[in-house]
Amino acid sequence: MADSTLASPHAADDEETRRDFLLIATSTVAAVGTAFAAWPFIDSLNPARDTLAVAITGVDLSPIAVGQAITVIWQGKPVFIRHRTAAEITAARDVNVDQLPDPQPDSARVEKPEWLVVVGVCTHLGCIPLGQRPTDAKGDYGGWFCPCHGSHYDSSGRIRKGPAPANLAVPPYRFLDDNRIEIG
């Protein structure tokens, strides 16, 4: 006698299809839920808004007279911007680069010869060199002088004398026009 409780042969296929659908739907919901739960942690790895705000600094150069220097803050560091005189440009170009502790020609440090833009942090121990104010000691080479350990920089920000191992760093910058730059 045949068992009337046995399902038709198509019932097994319907059961497998429903099981596959439930497995796929549950997996999809779990994946989306995991992504939503993980997003705050992933997003926390991005830089903070205040960090992004200082990542790029715009500077108007028009009020800076020839021979004058200003200091702006970029990424929490002082950046020295000097409108160099013709004498400073000539002195910076006429240096024998082979005799420098960190040889670098002036042309590699500036985009326009009359404007020098350097990070104002001594490369020896991170002090802030003097030379931005007209009354500051500018060192033996007319640039900057770090009184903490006696490093002397020239008008191109190159180390000339003292314990500093490298030139003042040149930050990434570009001229937007003749009177404006963007640092960063």
149 is catalytic: yes
* Cβ pair 181, 173 in contact under 8 A: yes
Q: What phi, psi does 146 have (nearest 5°)?
A: -100, 105
Inter-CA distances, 20 with 31, 106, 158, Å: 16, 70, 70
* Cβ pair 183, 57 in contact under 8 A: yes
| Strand partners for 153 | 144, 159
| Active-site pick, 10, 83, 149, 152 | 149
Q: What phi, psi does 180 have (nearest 5°)?
A: -140, 140
* Cβ pair 56, 182 in contact under 8 A: yes
What are the residue numbers of the active site?
A: 149
